[in-house]
Amino acid sequence: MEPKTNVPVPPPKKEMRKKPPQVKAPMPMRGFAIWFLMMALVLMAVQMLNPPEAAKPMDYNPAFTRMVSEGRIRSCEIVRDTTGNDYVTGELTETDPASGAMKKFRVDVPGVDAVSELLLENNVTFKVRRASAFWPVFWNIAPFLIGFLVIYFVFFRQMKNAGGRAMSFGKSRAKLMKKDGQNKITFADVAGVDEAKEELQEVVEFLKNPKQFQRLGGKMPKGVLLAGAPGTGKTLIAKAVAGEADVPFFNISGSDFVEMFVGVGASRVRDMFEEGRKNAPCIIFVDEIDAVGRSRFSGMGGGHDEREQTLNALLVEMDGFETEEGIIIIAATNRPDVLDPALMRPGRFDRQVFIDLPNLGGREEILKIHVKRVTLSENVDLTKVARGTPGFSGADIMNLVNEAALLGARRGAESVEQADFEEARDKVSWGRERRSHMLDDEEKKLTAYHEAGHAIVLAKTVQTEPLHKVTVIPRGRALGATMQLPEKDRYTQGRTRLTGMLIGLMGGRVAEEIIFNDVTTGAQNDIERATRIARAMVCEFGMSDLLGPRNYGSGEQQMFLGREIHQNEVHSEKITQLIDVEIDRILKEAHETARAILEEHRDKLELIAEVLIKYETLDGDQVMHMLETGEVPDALKNGKIPAEKAAEKAADEKATATAQDAPPEEPVEEPSAE
């Protein structure tokens, strides 16, 4: 083996990083031009407001020659015009008696030589100059030039900055979503709509791997319609599709098609699909498609030709003679009933996904997503919060979490408590506590008995939801509230349960009658809700033994005249009278049942009302304890306040401790409850 020699190895050369070429900032020509236009406009305005003194025309002979011979010319100037018209301008020696200014004159002369001799003979000082040909022409065209420059910088430069699309009315306004990772929404950020996620997940997988689905002869769906109530997450799930799909995603609103110019909407539809074909396979999302896809039969009042042309163009592009595969339309609307039937058929919208309000499990999953950015306390029970929000949409739950975080931050807490979610839910549902709306003793007593009547009747009626809270603190337009906490989501209601709801609604009015021997306007909302439920039981649900299982609601509903404005009666006057009799019977039976319950438990009614007057808010367990034992709970006897007031009391104690540690010369103010 040959001996190894230590050969010095030169260090690797460092790669010189090339500096990016420095781009010189363009000269601010636009700013200079704007300042120039402003100065020119100011000078023109000043000249128009203060015009120079006009020269008085004068005849050469005999007026001018006589004034020269009399020595009345102060000074003058002979101007040789380029057009061959020579003239003399100057000032007279006498002044204007009104203004005190010199009088100017102008006179056309037959020739320069003759005038010069005349002025020399009379010892008049003068000078001769040749008139410029530029300035007269400039001042004549200056207003037009300035007007053109103003129009150029106001309109044409704006169109240039807008990419030349300002005058392109027929171009599509669809925006291509970028594939960057910033603010990217995926299916992991969407909860409570599992069925819709599965439908759209299949669409995304079809775009990524179409051969997997086409091997058995299947075709790609052309359109998916997302329908549901406002706030259920239609647009959010479309954004999740954009985040999941590795294909171009165009986003446009239905109102972007409709324009004041005739034919623009149809042109934009064609241009949008043309852009989609260039980027196929792709997804086009049309939000609020009901703005352009309404039924072409508009009933009374005629049609809208521009909207119909736009809809016809959309129908042809989605499924016409020259359609191509590779473009999937996803549309969202909360009014699927007003869409044109031709738009809803298979081949255009092959799948119609209805996004309903989330159920109990869905609400809990949505809460878990939104509380990721919120610092929660250990005592927060999201399941309980989800149970207390029946009928809430995803947007409502997001607002609930935000309100709870704001309430916790306002009281200076380190984390969000369960009480913050309770207060946020009440605030979203009924409004903020109106502490400034102080009730006097009589009104507070009346409200306490009213709410206690609701609580007792609901607790003693079968098939009613458990009590959660009773309060006499004014919120919104209500002076008090009795809240129930459903154990689960219910999609059907039996006659027994609906009757129990009617009895519970009558509890407040009956309590007023028993205790005060009078009725007030406090039960207005209760009576309205009870009447609506009773009418639905008779006319829609077929729960009347007298009228039988028949629908007595409105017949044909006019879409464009409103659901409740125009109704066609499909039954006789005799049936109408029987309907009224049945509604009265149901309401009166509920009223009598509520009276029987409260008269039997009058002592509990007075006990709960007195405790409500003292503590203002009671939870469901405390109310049930008083109903079962007839005694005040030990927690209230020991001076403990309800659970929802714990956080507020802790904040007050913290503020009091802080105030006590202040310097002695500063006054200590007692904190007031929010």
Q: What are 218's two structure tokens? A: 């299947």
353 by DSSP, 3-state: which?
strand
Using 50, 70 and 90 to split pLDDT, how confident is the model at 266?
confident
Looking at domain 360-428, its CATH class is mainly alpha
| pLDDT of 458 higher than 80 | yes
**Contact indicator for 427, 470 with CB cutoff of 8 Å:** no
Per-residue CA distances from 229 to 200, 255, 290, 349, 393 (Å)? 18, 19, 13, 19, 8
Q: Across-strand partners of 130?
A: 80
Minimum mean pLDDT range among 307-316, 422-431, 543-552, 564-573 = 564-573
| pLDDT of 64 higher than 90 | no
Using 50, 70 and 90 to split pLDDT, how confident is the model at 660?
very low
For 459-486, what is the mean pLDDT?
Answer: 84
Using 50, 70 and 90 to split pLDDT, how confident is the model at 569?
low
**What was the pLDDT predicted at 7?**
42
| pLDDT of 318 higher than 90 | no
**What was the pLDDT predicted at 82?**
64
**Contact indicator for 241, 203 with CB cutoff of 8 Å:** yes
Distance CA 200, CA 186 (A): 12
Cβ-based neighbours of 429, under 8 Å, separated by 6 or more: none
Q: For residue 329, what is the enclosing H or E element?
A: strand 327-333
Using 50, 70 and 90 to split pLDDT, how confident is the model at 450?
very high
**What was the pLDDT predicted at 12?**
46
The phi and psi torsions of 296 (rounded to 5 degrees) equal -75, -15
**Contact indicator for 197, 354 with CB cutoff of 8 Å:** no
| pLDDT of 56 higher than 50 | yes
Minimum mean pLDDT range among 38-42, 489-493, 577-581, 587-591 = 38-42
Upper half-sphere CA count for residue 4 (Cβ side, 13 Å) = 2
Distance CA 192, CA 190 (A): 7
> Is 511 exposed, middle or buried, given 0-12, 13-18 or 19+ CB atoms closer than 10 A?
buried
| pLDDT of 160 higher than 50 | yes
**What was the pLDDT predicted at 621?**
85
| pLDDT of 70 higher than 70 | yes
**What was the pLDDT predicted at 536?**
92
Distance CA 275, CA 277 (A): 5
Per-residue CA distances from 327 to 140, 208, 319, 447 (Å)? 59, 13, 11, 61
Q: Return the amino acid letter for 658.
A: T
Minimum mean pLDDT range among 268-272, 426-430, 477-481, 653-657 = 653-657
Residue of 650 and 201 predicted with greater confidence: 201
Using 50, 70 and 90 to split pLDDT, how confident is the model at 456?
very high
Distance CA 183, CA 174 (A): 20
**What was the pLDDT predicted at 1?**
42
Cβ-based neighbours of 532, under 8 Å, separated by 6 or more: none
Helices (H) and strands (E) in the chain, counts: 23, 14
Distance CA 444, CA 313 (A): 64
Cβ-based neighbours of 416, under 8 Å, separated by 6 or more: 374, 375, 376, 377, 380, 404, 405, 407, 408
* Per-domain residue ranges of the chain: 33-131, 175-355, 360-428, 439-554+567-640
| pLDDT of 529 higher than 80 | yes
**What was the pLDDT predicted at 486?**
83
Instruction: Give catalytic residues, as residue numbers.
Output: 451
Minimum mean pLDDT range among 55-59, 107-111, 168-172 = 168-172
Q: Is 284 left (phi over 0), alpha (psi -120 to 50) or beta?
A: beta
**Contact indicator for 98, 113 with CB cutoff of 8 Å:** no
**What was the pLDDT predicted at 438?**
67
546 by DSSP, 3-state: which?
coil
Using 50, 70 and 90 to split pLDDT, how confident is the model at 121?
confident
**What was the pLDDT predicted at 667?**
32
Q: Is the peptide bond before 62 cis (omega within 30 degrees of 0)?
A: yes
439-554+567-640 has the same fold as 360-428: no
Residue of 532 and 164 predicted with greater confidence: 532
| pLDDT of 498 higher than 90 | yes
**Contact indicator for 504, 591 with CB cutoff of 8 Å:** no
For 435-445, what is the mean pLDDT?
Answer: 76
Residue of 116 and 529 predicted with greater confidence: 529
Angle at 184 between CA 181 and CA 187, to 5 degrees: 130
**What was the pLDDT predicted at 308?**
81
Reduced to 3 DSSP states, what percent helix, strand and coil does the chain have, rounded to the nearest 5?
50, 10, 40
**What was the pLDDT predicted at 47?**
59
**Contact indicator for 604, 507 with CB cutoff of 8 Å:** no
The phi and psi torsions of 336 (rounded to 5 degrees) equal -70, -20
Q: Which of 185-194, 222-231, 248-257, 579-588 has the highest mean pLDDT?
A: 579-588
Using 50, 70 and 90 to split pLDDT, how confident is the model at 45?
low
Residue of 59 and 192 predicted with greater confidence: 192
> Is 46 exposed, middle or buried, given 0-12, 13-18 or 19+ CB atoms closer than 10 A?
exposed
Other Cβ atoms closer than 10 A to 564 = 8
**What was the pLDDT predicted at 588?**
94
Other Cβ atoms closer than 10 A to 198 = 11
Kindly report the length of the chain.
Answer: 674
* DSSP alpha helix (H) spans, 209-333: 210-214, 234-244, 264-278, 305-318
| pLDDT of 226 higher than 80 | yes
Cβ-based neighbours of 434, under 8 Å, separated by 6 or more: 473, 474, 475, 476
Using 50, 70 and 90 to split pLDDT, how confident is the model at 254?
confident
**What was the pLDDT predicted at 439?**
73
| pLDDT of 649 higher than 60 | no
| pLDDT of 562 higher than 60 | no
Indicate the DSSP class of residue 336: G
Angle at 181 between CA 179 and CA 183, to 5 degrees: 105
Percent of the chain whose predicted confidence (pLDDT) is above 90: 13
Using 50, 70 and 90 to split pLDDT, how confident is the model at 560?
very low
**What was the pLDDT predicted at 661?**
40
For 118-122, what is the mean pLDDT?
Answer: 78
Distance CA 583, CA 540 (A): 12
For 488-493, what is the mean pLDDT?
Answer: 82
Tell me the fold of 175-355.
Rossmann fold (3.40.50)
Q: What are 422's two structure tokens? A: 């309770």
| pLDDT of 582 higher than 90 | yes
| pLDDT of 187 higher than 70 | yes
Tell whether the torsion through CA atoms of 54, 55, 56 and 57 is positive or negative.
Answer: negative
For 476-500, what is the mean pLDDT?
Answer: 84
**What was the pLDDT predicted at 265?**
77
Cβ-based neighbours of 440, under 8 Å, separated by 6 or more: none
| pLDDT of 636 higher than 80 | no
Give the tens place of pLDDT for each residue, 597-620. Answer: 999 999 889 899 898 888 888 888
> Is 566 exposed, middle or buried, given 0-12, 13-18 or 19+ CB atoms closer than 10 A?
middle
| pLDDT of 55 higher than 90 | no
Per-residue CA distances from 276 to 219, 260, 318, 454 (Å)? 18, 25, 12, 60
Indicate the DSSP class of residue 299: -
**What was the pLDDT predicted at 170?**
54
Q: For residue 365, what is the enclosing H or E element?
A: helix 360-370
- Mean pLDDT of all residues belonging to the chain: 76
Give the tens place of pLDDT for each residue, 371-427. Answer: 988 888 888 889 888 888 888 888 899 999 999 999 999 888 888 998 889 888 888
Using 50, 70 and 90 to split pLDDT, how confident is the model at 325?
low
**Contact indicator for 272, 331 with CB cutoff of 8 Å:** no
Using 50, 70 and 90 to split pLDDT, how confident is the model at 475?
confident
Looking at domain 33-131, its CATH class is alpha beta
Q: Is the peptide bond before 281 cis (omega within 30 degrees of 0)?
A: yes
Q: Across-strand partners of 354?
A: 227
**What was the pLDDT predicted at 535?**
93
CATH number of 439-554+567-640: 1.20.58.760
Q: For residue 105, what is the enclosing H or E element?
A: strand 102-108
Q: Return the amino acid letter for 200.
A: L
Residue of 214 and 102 predicted with greater confidence: 214
Nearest to 616 by CA among 470, 466, 422, 485: 470
**What was the pLDDT predicted at 528?**
93
